[in-house]
Copies of this chain bind each other. A is one copy, B any other.
Amino acid sequence: MTLKGMGKTGDRFSMEFRIGYADCDAMGYLHHARYWEYFERVRTELLRANGFRYRDLEEQGVFFVVHKCACTFIRPVRYDDLVTVSAKVERITRTRVDHSYEFLRGDDLLCQATTTLACVGRDGKPRLAPDALWAGTD
């Protein structure tokens, strides 16, 4: 019931970002490849807010790799826009974590995305996530 490591299911964690020049393409829009870097930053801070540092997990041999991702781009994001990017844990098991993400500019919803992360070891093979990350979440 209580998600310890990955952010309480149902709580949306938000950060504000200024879109950089190098993030944008020749249209002056945030390039679709770059959204994933923003999502990743928020996911990392959501994890930290719950007491886990992803760098420490990796040092302990726990890696989360992106297994699936999907995004719908609703309105363009432009250079120098101030946006709020949020992440939420939708579901967590001993081997997978599903997140959802949003970009907002003021009240305007700019995009919606999802990822499924898989827990793997240093060898890239599936492994169980540490108890501390998932225990008591269902």
Chain A contact residues, CB within 8 Å of chain B? 18, 20-22, 24-29, 31-37, 40-41, 44-45, 53-55, 58, 63, 65-73, 76, 79-80, 124
State whether A80 touches B65 (Cβ < 8 A).
Answer: no
What residues of chain B lie closer than 8 Å to A73, measured between beta carbons?
65-69
Residue of B28, B44, B53, B71 touching A21 (CB-CB under 8 A):
B44
Instruction: Give 28 pairs: A residue, B residue, CB < 8 Å, sorted on A.
Output: A20-B44, A21-B31, A21-B54, A22-B25, A22-B33, A22-B36, A22-B40, A25-B26, A26-B26, A26-B28, A27-B58, A27-B63, A29-B65, A32-B36, A32-B66, A32-B69, A33-B33, A33-B34, A44-B80, A54-B80, A67-B73, A68-B72, A68-B73, A69-B70, A69-B71, A69-B73, A70-B70, A76-B124
Task: Decide if the interface of chain A is mainly helix, strand, loop or mixed.
Answer: mixed
State whether B65 touches A27 (Cβ < 8 A).
Answer: yes
Distance, CA A37 to CA B69, complexed state (A): 15
